[in-house]
């Protein structure tokens, strides 16, 4: 039994941490305040090889394992969740469906730019009335000769409207049986409209838009995988994504722990550092336990995936525990900082606002409990 990451993983962690601390951390508060999506930094992440980590070298990737991707996401989230989710969604939701289910022609066309960080892709699954119940998709795609004609809308789509977004993979009902099919829709396609960005509580430097399709015509050859298999494909992609979101949560919780301990050592009240008070020290101790548990669950799930073993339940457990721990960690950190924690000049204020979405995106906490219950053999619905 070995709980250490490999020397290669640890060396990679140092590279990403150095990049995050020097190229992201000094600007994160400004990006958050001004709602800036920093294209140049995202492309620099691409130059570092982050967007190509789990993909084949022949398409511009690094053939790295999933654990390596989790390390990168964790380290980015330690300083800025917006950049962490940009990477997580760009890899796990944007490029991964094409790598997993695309034809060789589709991979050759789209993956090199996505792996290089020159382009981003969105994952068009969620709709206003089809979130946790993703099978309730209403968007339709009808055959017309050699084309699909798509009509419908999508909601809360990450990386869908950036200056470098090249495509969105969309789920739509097709055929007389109304099966769900995944279809690649390039940006700029007539009838594909990216609506104005949402005003969000957090992730202010991340790109999120509603999408609209009105007689949007794309070739049948843009079908991703087999017709009618889109729902199954996206559920499999989400299993991977749950581990990645857990890694993001670990990074945010780790940052809350570090900020809290530093503040508890430096802040003087009643003539002593506030960390000398059991109320603060115990809160930091609880934070440390939460972070450790979240990290162990997350990297166990990544290890299971990398080992080719079943990981659905482990992914759901990691996502459930780590994201709820991140929310608790942000709340504890804000309390430790007191009034200063409520001010946007301190990172913990941003961490607090960024944390909540982790319990919602890529499967709510309730959905994770449902998945775990089913894996336990319970007839839960």
DSSP string, 352-374: HHHHGGGGTTTS-HHHHHHHHHH
Which residue has tokens 């330690």?
Answer: 78
Strand residue runs (E) in the chain: 120-124, 140-144, 147-158, 165-174, 179-186, 192-194, 208-219, 223-224, 268-269, 272-273
For the chain, give me the number of helices (H) and strands (E)? 12, 10
Q: 97: which 2 tokens?
A: 């469906």
- C-alpha–C-alpha distance, residues 61 and 52, integer Å: 4
The active-site residue, picked from 57, 362, 366, 375, is: 362
- C-alpha–C-alpha distance, residues 156 and 357, integer Å: 11
362 catalytic, yes or no?
Answer: yes
How far from 96 is each of 122, 241, 329, 342, CA to CA, in Å?
11, 10, 30, 38
Which residue has tokens 């659905």?
Answer: 312
* Sign of the dihedral defined by the CA atoms of residues 55, 57, 61, 62, in that order: positive
3-state secondary structure at position 62: coil
DSSP state of 23: I
Contacts of 66 (CB under 8 A, 6+ apart): 54, 240, 243, 302, 305, 306
Q: Which helix (H) or strand (E) holds 65?
A: none
- C-alpha–C-alpha distance, residues 107 and 375, integer Å: 33
Q: 354: which 2 tokens?
A: 């960024």
Residues designated as active site: 362
């Amino acid at each position: 039994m070995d709980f250490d990451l490999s020397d290669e993983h640890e060396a990679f962690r140092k590279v990403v941490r150095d990049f995050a601390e020097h190229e992201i951390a000094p600007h994160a508060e400004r990006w958050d305040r001004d709602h800036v999506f920093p294209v140049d930094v995202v492309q620099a992440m691409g130059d570092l090889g982050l967007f190509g980590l789990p993909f084949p070298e022949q398409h511009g990737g690094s053939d790295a394992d999933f654990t390596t991707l989790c390390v990168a996401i964790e380290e980015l989230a330690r300083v800025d969740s917006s950049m962490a989710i940009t990477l997580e969604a760009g890899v796990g939701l944007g490029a991964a469906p094409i790598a997993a289910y695309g034809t060789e022609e589709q991979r050759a066309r789209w993956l090199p730019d996505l792996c290089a960080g020159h382009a981003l892709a969105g994952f068009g699954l969620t709709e206003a009335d089809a979130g946790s119940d993703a099978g309730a998709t209403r968007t339709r795609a009808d055959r017309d000769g050699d084309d699909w004609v798509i009509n419908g809308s999508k909601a809360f789509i990450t990386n869908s409207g950036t200056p470098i977004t090249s495509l969105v993979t969309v789920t739509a009902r097709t055929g007389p049986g109304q099966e769900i099919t995944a279809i690649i829709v390039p940006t700029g396609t007539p009838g594909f409209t990216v609506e104005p960005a949402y005003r969000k509580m957090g992730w202010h430097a991340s790109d999120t838009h509603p999408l609209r399709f009105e007689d949007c015509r794309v070739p049948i050859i843009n079908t991703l995988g087999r017709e009618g298999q889109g729902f199954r494909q996206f559920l499999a992609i989400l299993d991977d994504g749950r581990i990645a979101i857990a890694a993001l949560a670990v990074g945010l919780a780790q940052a809350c722990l570090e900020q809290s301990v530093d503040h508890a050592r430096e802040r003087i009240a009643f003539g002593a550092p506030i960390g000398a008070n059991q109320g603060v020290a115990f809160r930091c101790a609880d934070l440390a336990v939460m972070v450790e548990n979240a990290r162990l669950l997350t990297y166990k799930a990544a290890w299971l995936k990398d080992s080719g073993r079943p990981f659905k339940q482990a992914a759901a457990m990691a996502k459930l525990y780590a994201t709820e721990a991140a929310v608790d960690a942000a709340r504890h950190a804000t309390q430790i900082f007191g009034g200063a924690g409520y001010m946007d000049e301190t990172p913990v204020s941003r961490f607090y606002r960024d944390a909540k979405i982790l319990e919602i995106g890529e499967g709510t906490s309730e959905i994770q409990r449902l998945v775990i219950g089913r894996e336990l053999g319970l007839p839960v619905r």
